[in-house]
Structure 1
Amino acid sequence: MLAGTLFALAAGLMWGLVFVAPLMLPDYPAALLTVGRYLAFGLIALPLALVDWRALRVLAPGDWLEALKLSAIGNFLYYLCLSAAIQRAGGPLPTVIIGTLPVVIAICSNLRDHERDGLLPWRRLAPSLVLIAAGIACVNQVELAALAREAGPGELRRYAEGALLAVAALACWTWYPIRNADWLRAHSDRSPRAWATAQGLMTLPMALLGLAALPGLQWAGLLDAGLDLPLGPRPWAYIGLMLAVGLCASWLGTLCWNEASQRLPTSLVGQLIVFETLAALAYAFVLRGQVPATLTLLGIALLVGGVVWALRVKPERRAVPQPETQP
């Protein structure tokens, strides 16, 4: 139990880096951050492919196409929206919005395929949804109040755009695990590790295409004309952070999470996902150099409480009526 909890904590600490990289490189656009992260991850996946080459050989063209879709939405589009959201709205609000992910996935599963996985009773989910909504409202109130004191109306628009982009990122990462789980269930004879490596490999050509497209985006006015491509104004900081995020968040964090999943009950592992949210919030406030306001701490507590409450709700399977037998 102790080893599993420590592995889950390590995974959360590394996944939290994803949320602070845009704050550490505020002069880098979201497109450049996304390309850099997944270029690093794709290069890391190459030696992993040598280990899993036998399992990768049996993947059909349709499987590689599915891996491409999962990487495009679950990796590229997700992180593009998330990094842009954080640079517009700051760290806390996008982090708590993404922190609702376990509950949003549970709700979508409830609406989609409860015949297979069982139905989560709505009456038991309702208190967690109220807690989560109250937590987000508390954090949002503090961020809006600080924005009103320090910035003009233009910044308020950027904040609203950041909130919408965070919701878009949440939608991407709600779709991804459900679609990924569908493939794994339909191919139970395949290696989950090799499937993760396949998705990592598909990020590499997309990252290279994205890198080649950056000058065109700059020419079209979608990127700052004065931005030095492809490494930006602080090349070594950019390369180092992208390698750290690619290695730690994209690979090592997942490895630690898998180790935790092997040691802990599934119900407990689900609750320990909150380590990621707490780590990201802690990093954001350390970068700000300030202690969270009382209302922010209350909002974080409400969010964590709501997620833990929801993850403790057990699905109920409906009884299938049996045909009557003739005497």
Structure 2
Amino acid sequence: MWSGTLFALAAGLMWGLVFVAPLMLPEYPASWLTLGRYLAFGLICLPLAWVDRRALRQLQAADWRMAVRLSLVGNFLYYLALAAAIQRAGNPLVSALIGTLPVVIAVVSNRRNALRDGHLPWRRLAPSLVAIAAGLACINQTEWQTHAQTDASRYGSGALLALVALAAWTWYPIRNADWLREHPDRSPRAWATAQGLVSLPLALLGMAALAAGAALGWAPVASPFDSPLGPNPAGFVGLMLLIGLAASWGGTLCWNEASQRLPTALAGQLIVFETLSALAYGYLWRGQWPSALAATGIALLIGGVIWALRVKPVPADDRVYSQVHS
């Protein structure tokens, strides 16, 4: 339980980096940030693939197809929507919306995977969910007051894109955990590397599509820069390599380790570490301390996670479970 929690914490700390990258490079479109991140991720995974070559050979065609699906939804779609949302509506709103993931995933997983993982009793789980939801509401309220002057249409489109990212990142950890729990003999590190390997050709195809669209003068993908790497090549390449290694590979590896140790419903709640990290990095980037209301929200989030760790799954009998939930 505790080793799984520490792995989830490490994943959250690394995943939180992706919430500040669009703020650090605001002149770069979300498509550039997404493709740059996963191109770097794929390149980083090439030498790692040699280390894990034996484990990767054990993967069947169906496993590689699953890796492609996980990468398309959990990597490209998620970060494209997330980066665009942050650039439109700001880091705090998006962090708060993505922060509802613990509640969404717990609700979905506790019913969906009870026979496999055991059932977390709702009465025992409810206080942690309420605390997490209240904490997110506090953070969202204080950030809405801070950004009340933001253009309404831009702010609204950012919120909608954040919901797209929320849906993608709800699907990803559940399906990823399903595969890992169905293949307990497989290496979580090799599975993280496999997802990075399939990201490389997908990123190259995406860049080729952007280049073709720009050459044809298609406005949505036309390059806003004269230089292929934009106005800050060193910053762009360095940041993409950093989040490619830490957030993409390292975060996925740590999350895979956590997913093999924890029930899916409980692991879903621990994604709150990503929210806390994203908010902390956002406040550091702004050079501000959180307000009293935001600090209260953060305390509620931490309290909800600690409470959730005390809830133990109860084995679910197939017949009894079917009768109760029919």
| Superposition TM-score tier, normalisation by shorter sequence | 0.7 to 0.9
Aligned to 1:56: 56
Give the counterpart of 1:170 among 162, 166, 171: 166
Distance, in Å, in 2 between the alignment partners of 1:2 and 1:106 is 19
Residue correspondence of structure 1 range 203-222 to structure 2 within 5 A: 203-218=199-214, 219-222=217-220
Amino acid at match of 2:283: F
Paired residue for 1:249, among 247, 250, 269? 247
1:98 corresponds to: 98
2:229 corresponds in structure 1 to 231
**Are residues 131 and 254 of structure 1, via their aligned partners in 2, closer, same or farther at CA, if it must alter by over 3 Å?**
same
- TM-score w.r.t. length of structure 2: 0.84
Say which SS state the counterpart of residue 317 (structure 1) adopts.
Answer: coil
| Alignment partner, residue 317 of structure 1 | 315
Structure 2 Cα separation of the partners of residues 320 and 12 of structure 1: 34
Q: Deviations over 1:133-185 (max 9, x none)?
A: 3223222222222223x44xxx2222222222222222212211221222223
Distance 1:187 1:9, change over 3 A: closer
Matching residue's letter, 2:312: K
Q: Corresponding residue for 1:181? A: 177
What CA distance in whole angstroms lies between the structure 1 residues aligned with 2:226 and 2:198?
Answer: 27
In 2, the alpha carbon distance for the partners of 1:189 and 1:2 equals: 21
Task: Give the TM-score taking structure 1 as reference length.
Answer: 0.84
CA drift of 1:5 comes to: 8.5
1:22 aligns with 2:22: yes
2:196 to 200, 212, 218: 200
Q: Distance in 1 between the 2:288 and 2:15 partners?
A: 22
Contact 2:41 2:196 in 1 (8 A): yes
Partner of 1:325: none
Summarize the alignment of residues 289-304 of structure 1 with structure 2, pairs less than 5 Å apart: 289-304=287-302
The answer (yes or no) to whether the contact 1:93–1:136 under 8 Å persists in 2 is no
Shift of 1:85: 1.6
Return the offset for 1:266: 5.1
Does the aligned pair in 2 maintain the 1:85–1:163 contact within 8 Å?
yes
Contact conserved, 2:193 with 2:249, CA < 8 A, in 1? no
Name the counterpart of 2:141: 141
Superposed CA offset, 1:86-106 (max 9, x none): 112211222233233333222
- What is the aligned-residue identity percentage? 67
After superposition, the C-alpha distances for 1:210-249 in whole angstroms (9 at most, x for unaligned) are 1112234543221465334631221111011101111122
5+ long unaligned stretches in structure 2:
321-326
Return the alpha-carbon distance in structure 2 between the equivalents of residues 164 and 318 of structure 1.
Answer: 37
Aligned length: 315
Deviation at 1:259, TM superposition (A): 8.0
Give me the whole-angstrom Cα distance separating, in 2, the residues matched to 1:5 and 1:48: 25
- Aligned 1:1-80 pairs, distance under 5 A: 11-80=11-80
CA distance in 2: counterparts of 1:95 and 1:13, whole angstroms = 13
Q: Distance in 1 between matches of 2:292 and 2:61?
A: 53
Change (3 A) 1:161 1:123: farther
Aligned partner letter, 1:135: G
Structure 2 CA distance, aligned partners of 1:28 and 1:229?
12
C-alpha separation between the residues in 2 aligned to 1:186 and 1:294?
45
Q: 1:16 to 1:315 in 2, by over 3 A?
A: same
**Residues 115 and 317 in structure 2, CA contact (< 8 A), matched pair in contact too:** no
Say whether the 8 Å CA contact 1:100–1:303 is kept in structure 2. no
Question: Could you tell me which of 146, 158, 161 is aligned with 2:157?
Answer: 161
**What CA distance in whole angstroms lies between the structure 2 residues aligned with 1:222 and 1:321?**
54
Structure 2 CA distance for partners of 1:72 and 1:105, relative to 1, 3 Å = same
Rg: which structure is higher? Answer: 1
- In 1, are the aligned partners of 2:196 and 2:249 still within 8 Å (CA)? no
Structure 1 residues 85, 272: CA separation in 2 closer, same or farther (over 3 Å shift)? same
State the SS of the aligned residue for 2:127: helix
Would you say the 8 A contact 1:103–1:310 is kept in 2?
Answer: no
Aligned-pair distance for 1:208? Answer: 0.4
Is the CA contact 1:30–1:84 (under 8 Å) kept in the aligned structure 2? Answer: yes
Displacement after TM superposition at 1:306 (Å): 3.0
Maintained 8 Å contact 2:55/2:187 = yes
Is 1:109 the counterpart of 2:105 in the alignment? no
The one-letter amino acid paired with 2:174 is I
Secondary structure of the 1:71 match is helix
Match of 1:288 in 2: 286
Alpha carbons 2:95, 2:278 under 8 Å: kept: yes
